[in-house]
Amino acid sequence: MARRLAAGARLVLASHNPGKLAELADLLRPHAVAVVSAGELGLAEPGEDAPDFAGNARIKARAAAQASGLPALADDSGFCVAALNGAPGVHSARWAGPGKDFAAAMTRVNREIGDASDRRAWFVAALCLAWPDGHTETFVGRVDGAAVWPPRGGQGFGYDPMFVPSGSTNTFGELDPAEKHTVSHRARAFAQFLAAGFLAG
């Protein structure tokens, strides 16, 4: 494949979110690439104004690739609740405010669900690999489950403590990272990325 990342190639992780960076770094660790974060390179965070996860992932990946001259992998993901018509969705980070207060964001989600009997919820992750010439490849993963209250567990980040994936009794906040990596939305998008053959190792 012409665009395959050679062993030892540098890959920019186009995120400033510590939780996402940690998960992406863990997923990439078995593969022969040298990862560097956008923050380490001093790259600015671009505005995210696309209406969907894939569009926002492309914005971030393209900006990082063009600014760094290196291939870049970006993630855009969010928590979606059926009773809220898919909200907070692409606005998941915004619901946490400038201080990234996800405890407050989870409280808001629960308050807005109210006494609705429908607790269905899902996480979506879009991964976009961008090249300095503007070419992109995008992969989208989803995991379904239910929103629970109160939040449980200190693992993970964001809305993880209030989400129980289908087939489990534990929230994402209660799963250890290795277990979460087998079922998460990000892991499912990453599996598609691997299957596309861009990594040498």
Would you please indicate which residues are annotated as catalytic (active-site) residues?
Answer: 76
Helix (H, G, I), strand (E, B) or coil at 178: helix
- The DSSP result for 48-92, as a single string, is ---SSHHHHHHHHHHHHHHHHSS-EEEEEEEEEEGGGTT-BGGGH
Q: What is the CA radius of gyration of the chain?
A: 17
Of the candidates 76, 75, 68, the residue with the CA atom closest to the CA atom of residue 10:
68
DSSP 5: B
